[in-house]
Structure 1
């Protein structure tokens, strides 16, 4: 697993190895990340963005965004192994000042104490129904900007929850990515 493009292009990230089966560590493959970021570049949502990486795992999605011009990334995950890999990847890229780690269960995400986020990566364990709950909790906690752009990776296409509209949808094998835009009120 490596950073595909941008400032940290070709830097190899920490290996998941056997990972953490209980935490469902399943990093997005390089091929899927490359295709996804081509789509995100087309939508012009990366440059200068404040990124929220929910179910961050190794942090590959958020770190790729940072490499491509995002201003800041906050990572949220409660996994022990994920936390270790995430900290290792942040140190490897020397981006401690541009990142923040929140170790908590997404269903109990506290109120946001910073500016809201423009780009959200939502990559929950497949088929557990956690994505919608985490997105609702992030919204209730004021983590999302009024025009937030959400990238939702799951085992199947995800219908947009209330308050969101589908912008794009892509399928890469058994990985389904639904791109959503928050409807401004």
Structure 2
């Protein structure tokens, strides 16, 4: 997900008559193109970033339980389901985004993905927690959402012992002040966007 205040990304989807398209890169739905509303905040993570991320995650996606609290277009969420994630939960505060993502799940005949309209931080703070193996965190920039979301994931026990967490941020990962039990596994930069993969280290928790 992106916000109007986020640094612009190189376009990785076509836009026509107010509708954008994203492409699923790998897995069961490889090369499928799906439309989404071309509204502010609904731009998918670029293809080359997704490809890099899922190369990093290749051994860990199949059978994983996936959470995407800032789903936006659903690009990361759908990519994980396509590649064999056992189940997925997506959230977004936009009814438009949620409606579009639900349509995609129906089109793909996917029964293991679930999506609902919700404020991510409130949801993580108030709902009964389920331990997820893989979490995507791509919140709107310049709103200080990422550190709070990460703290809630850790404190409210939303993470499996050895969970993987992906982050996109406007500043370098080393500046984010994320939980001490998370180890930075990989990081790269695309334009002005920093993206990183973290692993929760169970032996250091508590």
Same topology, TM > 0.5: yes
Distance (Å, rounded) in 2 between the aligned partners of 1:53 and 1:116: 13
Distance 1:40 1:46 in 2: 6
Aligned to 1:31, the other structure's residue is in SS state: helix
TM-superposed CA distance for 1:91, in Å, is 1.4
Are the aligned partners of 1:153 and 1:177 in contact in 2 as well (CA < 8 Å)?
A: yes
Cα distance in 2 between the residues matched to 1:183 and 1:123: 21
Is 1:59–1:89's contact at 8 Å kept on the other side of the alignment? no
- Stretches of structure 2 that go unaligned for 5 or more consecutive residues are 1-21
Q: Is the 8 A contact 1:75 1:101 kept in 2?
A: yes
The CA RMSD over aligned residues, in Å, is 1.6
2:195 is the counterpart of 1:180: no
* Number of the residue aligned with 1:36: 53
Query: Does residue 27 of structure 1 match 2:58?
Result: no
Say whether the 8 Å CA contact 1:150–1:181 is kept in structure 2.
Answer: yes
Residue 91 (1) aligns with residue 112 (2) = no
Tell me by how many angstroms 1:169 deviates: 0.4
- Listed as ranges, the gaps of 5+ residues in structure 1 are none
8 Å Cα contact 1:169-1:176 kept in structure 2: yes
Q: CA shift at 1:180, angstroms?
A: 0.9
Aligned residue number for residue 81 of structure 1:
96
TM-score, normalization: structure 1?
Answer: 0.88
Identify the residue that residue 3 of structure 1 maps to in structure 2.
24
Of 156, 164, 170 in structure 1, the residue corresponding to residue 182 of structure 2 is: 164
Higher Rg: 2
d(CA) in 2 for partners of 1:31 and 1:178? 14
* SS of equivalent residue, structure 1 residue 86: helix
